[in-house]
Copies of this chain bind each other. A is one copy, B any other.
Amino acid sequence: GLQPHPNECDYVLVGNTKWKKQQQTFIEALREKGFSLTEIEESDKCFYGIRAPDSMLDTYQYLMNDEIIFERTRIRVTDFVLNKTIDSKKERLTDLLRKNVFETAFPLHQKTQQDHLTEKWARWTALYKSQPIDLVKNYLGEKAALYFLWLGWYTYMLIPAAMVGIVVFLYGLAFFDKSPLIKEVCEANTTIMCPLCDTHCSFWKLSDTCMYAKVTNLFDNEGTVFFAIFMALWATIFLELWKRHRAREACHWKLYNWDKEEEDLVLEIVNNPQVMPEKFQHSYISSIIVMFLVSVMIVIFIGLSLGLVVFRVFATVVLSESEWKPLKENANTVAVMLGAVVHYLTITIMTKVNRWVAIFLCKIERNPFFEDKECSFTVKMFTFQFFTLFSSLFYVAFFLGRINGHPKEYVKIAQQWRLEECHPSGCMTDLFIQMAIIMILKQTLSNIVEFLSPWVKMKFNSIKYHSEKNKDGEIDNWLRNYYLNNVSYFSVFNEFLEMVIQYSFTTIFVAAFPLAPFLALINNIFEIRLDAIKMTRLERRLVPLKTNNIGIWLQVLEGIGVLAVICNGLVIGITSDFIPRLVYKYRFGPCAYSNATDIDCMVGYVENSLSTVNLEHLNPKHLQNNSDFVNLTYCRYRDYRSEEDFTLTAQFWEIFAARFAFVLLFEHVAVVIKFIAAWFVPDVPMQVKNIDLNHKFANLKKRLCMMPHRTTSL
């Protein structure tokens, strides 16, 4: 039923009539290969409908042992041959497209299948339904179908993670008011804290941050530690089960033992039986150059995120010295907002730069095979995007407020401007705010843009299309396709990249934001339909590419899993207050030296975690706007330093040792758990292995029957 009408075209080339002569050279080369062509001129455009010769497809079918040639195979073979064809002027289609001889080239949507897919899958009201992956595979090809299969699986696996995340969040909420730590902060209205910045910050009461302390406690409690371990395990199990899921689907598609290399060779032979296969190439010199350039890029990313830090510090100072009073008073907030805008701009610009550099690096490597090129591009692009998006998060998580020196001698940029301090209620809050902004704002915004931009274009083109309406059958269909949005080989890649970046956010800093899986879940439920609608209805038809796995993305996801273990360990060990609290409880608090059971072990923690500085050591600037606190002789700051010489106390070093010990322990335990989980769940279901085994066995038996001069009886 899926065989197209025998006279239908597989592919359409469009070019301006003024280039007709040049177009004909290429068209002639196609005719020589046996393609049948239909030419239609329409206003100033020339449309060439082409259809691959049956002999070509027969050869493919014979060499691949396929039973039927599906429509997706026709389009794929046509696309391959089209891109490999060299005309008498030694030009390829890509050259001609670049020279504008041809405007565009695309395969055609099939109205009935398109409608069927829309009905079953590509509409918002199908949200609650499972995806008809086989239909998607038949129409958009295995590559796109595997993306949707993966996305569906990821979304499905997010359900338990989101649920546990919500439970952890609720656990935090349950102790919202009851934690003795919060009580201590809220009642500390005699604890006067040192100013957080140089110029216009004043002294403040610790009790002012009561509300923030409550919010911070939501995300910085024992539940978070549990959740971080849970998510490290989740990431492993997710990948293990995905491997099984993929194997099952590949087996169902009869592609379990499919060999990409062989497929490529067959396509080459189909295109030109006299062809010599390309050779694998590898050069250690280009590897070194690539490694060097990637390092340079990474240094640039780190430099950019440090630049952003300096920018915020600088902006705060400049703004607070402005003449306009509202600006002056809210200098800090405005600087943070300005910083966010600059950050967003940097990301937008760097995304384009990254793509360009990644393509350039792939050119240096000169891989002759598309598969390898794609791998190499994927890894580079992901690395660059990862650093672009995460480097400032790493700064917030592990450096912000930790390298600021002490009240007598603050670390200053250009010996003038103090570095930013952590949020008054703790460094974890900064990380939490950053994560919340990224997860909620960035996802929502980028989804809207991603959907609206093709939708608007489509609507706009639709008007053009309807203005040219009353045409005959074939050209009407071609025009309808022509006025849809363009797609490229990158389409599925871009979707994958977006989702893998989201996966990184969901797993890498999940300790700071347990609601991340929940937000990702909500987003993905819509993302599936959004991508489906885009690919089926708003864009021209994808060339259906064949594959049986998600390729290098699997390794990328495994890498993210490792990073997630390291980062979550570090967030809990270094960023959160989990370790200082533990150390206080067992070494310095009231329980350390007494066996009484009725005392709260955390009493006095807040007081203990603050150091004291005599005002005479402070910068005199601070004392200027000290109107509220008249008789102040000292102020407090978060650190473990001696009052006399500002050296770090033994408690600081003990906490420091405990932090590192925790990170070490966390990482090794997580690695062992990951290892056991990977061993426990076989990568390939036994059912798939047995089907494969039976298949091989059947083939051998078939060959045995054909054996000449067999003497023993069967």
* 15 sampled A-B residue pairs with Cβ under 8 A: A55-B710, A62-B704, A262-B700, A280-B686, A280-B690, A280-B693, A287-B680, A291-B676, A649-B650, A650-B650, A653-B656, A657-B657, A660-B660, A660-B663, A664-B664
Contacts of A656 in B (CB 8 A): 653-654, 657
> In the bound complex, how far is the Cα of B654 from the Cα of A656, in angstroms?
8
A1 to B642, CA, bound (A): 87
Identify the closest chain B residue to A278 (Cβ): B693
Tell me how many chains of this kind the complex includes: 2
Contacts of A59 in B (CB 8 A): 704, 707, 710, 712
Is A704 a contact of B63 with CB atoms below 8 Å? Answer: yes
Whether A596 is near chain B, meaning CB under 8 Å from some CB there, is no
Minimum C-beta distance from A266 to chain B (A): 6
Which partner residue on chain B sits nearest A665 by CB separation?
B660
Report the minimum CB–CB distance from A653 to chain B (whole Å). 4
Give the dominant DSSP class at A's interface. helix
Q: Please give the distance in Å from A378's CB to the nearest CB on chain B.
A: 14
Given contacts A55-B712, A660-B664, contact A680 B277 (CB under 8 A): no
Number of interface residues of A (CB under 8 A): 57
Known A55-B712, A269-B704, A273-B714; 14 more pairs at CB < 8 Å: A55-B710, A55-B711, A59-B707, A59-B710, A62-B707, A63-B704, A63-B707, A273-B712, A277-B697, A287-B680, A649-B650, A653-B654, A653-B656, A657-B659
**Residue from the list B62, B280, B284, B696 in contact with A262, Cβ < 8 A:** B696
* Alpha-carbon distance A62/B660, docked complex (angstroms): 63
> For the complex, is A98 an interface residue (Cβ under 8 Å from B)?
no
Contacts of A694 in B (CB 8 A): 277
Is the beta-carbon distance between B63 and A712 smaller than 8 angstroms? no
Neighbouring B residues of A281 by C-beta, 8 Å:
686
Is A282 an interface residue, CB under 8 A from the partner?
A: yes
Chain B residue with the shortest CB-CB distance to A656: B657
Chain B proximity of A337: nearest CB distance (Å):
35
CA distance A636 to B355 in the complex (A): 65
A277 to chain B, nearest CB (A): 5
User: Considering the complex, which residues of chain A in the window 639-677 have a beta carbon less than 8 Å from any beta carbon of chain B?
Assistant: 648-650, 653-654, 656-657, 659-661, 663-664, 667-668, 676
User: Are A701 and B269 touching (Cβ within 8 A)?
Assistant: yes
Does A682 touch B at the CB level, under 8 Å? yes
Check A696–B265 contact: CB distance below 8 A.
Answer: yes
The reply to whether B700 and A269 form a contact with Cβ atoms under 8 Å apart is yes
